[in-house]
Amino acid sequence: MSILSGKNVLLGITAGIAAYKTAALVRLFIKSGAQVKVVMTPASKDFITPLTLSTLSKNPVLSSFTNEDDTDAVWNNHVDLGLWADIFVIAPATANTMSKMANGSSDNLLLATYLSAKCPVYFAPAMDLDMYKHNSTKASFDKLQSFGNVMIPATSGELASGLVGEGRMAEPEDIITFLENDILGKLPLKGKKVLITAGPTYEAIDPVRFIGNHSSGKMGFEIAKASANLGAEVILITGPTHQKISHSLINVVPVTSAEDMYQQVHKYFDTVAIAILSAAVADFTPKEVSAKKIKKTSDTLKLELKRTKDILASIGETKKNQFLVGFALETHNELENAIGKLKKKNLNLIVLNSLQDKGAGFKGDTNKVTFIDNKSTVTEFQLKSKAEVAEDLLNEIVKQTHA
């Protein structure tokens, strides 16, 4: 999965011959999992049709503040467009448009949207050789970058005039690669490894039966996504679950039992900077596992259970500089029990869920949590989606590890 997956990408197209490449660029954005909207300068429609781009992006293409052919014209709000976008990419960016951007001119919808945008702005210059080298163009490059805009460098090659040199817009594939690398390079967990456990464990009784719990793995999988979206290389060790995940930065390690999970956690723990153990690991496992299916010979069945190895405590004892996060699912004396677990297992942070809270706990899409750190700071949250809880957790970890 690309780092662009789930992002809202606004593509601005200006009036250069390289506009013909934007059809391929839109396709690549869609393929990467992004949502795409296109805003064009009026003159750019001479180079590629809005119909082509709207068909590929699956969104209407905008080029003016109102649709002049519509007697009941609706205002195309440049502020809303700018707020919608997670990334604004202007490609091709002509010398004319860049000069207007640099000097605050706002004579079309694209420029008004640019001046309203709160998101990162990327621009991919495209023009002929002499225009590219002109001092006024260089001044636009410098000014735009001083605003925090990111330039996607033009390449050298044959230009529309027949000249050969700088000014050719980067190819669509290269623009995508540039964006992915730039975004990843600025993410707070770039270069860090994060270990996450998720889901239940199944403790075998015989070849067909097991002891398990109701954990769906949703919380752990959302934490994995949130970690990867901040640039981390994620090792996701998961018990049996129906959850699916596909991301280039997430390595899924499936396990079944508590012992399996113990072995895999210890295999990877020394290599990571952060470990978040959200799995619902069984506390007990059958002392003896029958090699054959147990037959119903009476109305009762007695099982002798033994304690499983405490994964969280074991790595808490051996941790060096790792930031260690545990979860506590409690039904009574919640805060007292969570603080006790935090201290006993040498954690940096513990996430408390209470089964007393409606909407929290196993299987659902929501959770209500409290964070408690090793400085006794308690932060309570309202009921949120598990995706939002995961983002809150990663933001807290980033804040504490970057302090």
Q: Which of 8, 213, 251, 374 is catalytic?
A: 213
Amino acid letter, residue 275: A
Are the C-beta atoms of residues 277 and 325 closer than 8 Å to each other? yes
Are the C-beta atoms of residues 44 and 14 closer than 8 Å to each other? yes
Query: Considering only CA atoms, which of 225, 132, 122 is closest in space to residue 174?
Result: 122
- DSSP string for residues in 264-325: HHHHHGGG-SEEEE--B--SEEESS--SSPPP--SS-----EEEPP-HHHHHHHH-SS-EEE
- 182-186: long-range contacts, CB 8 A cutoff, minimum separation 24: 182/122, 182/150, 183/3, 183/4, 183/87, 184/3, 184/231
Query: Cβ-count burial of 91 within 10 angstroms (0-12 exposed, 13-18 middle, 19+ buried)?
Result: buried
Is 213 a residue of the active site?
Answer: yes
Residue 397: phi and psi, rounded to 5, are -65, -45
Is the bond preceding residue 42 a cis peptide, omega within 30 degrees? no
Are the C-beta atoms of residues 276 and 268 closer than 8 Å to each other? no
Helix (H, G, I), strand (E, B) or coil at 89: strand
What residues act catalytically?
Answer: 213
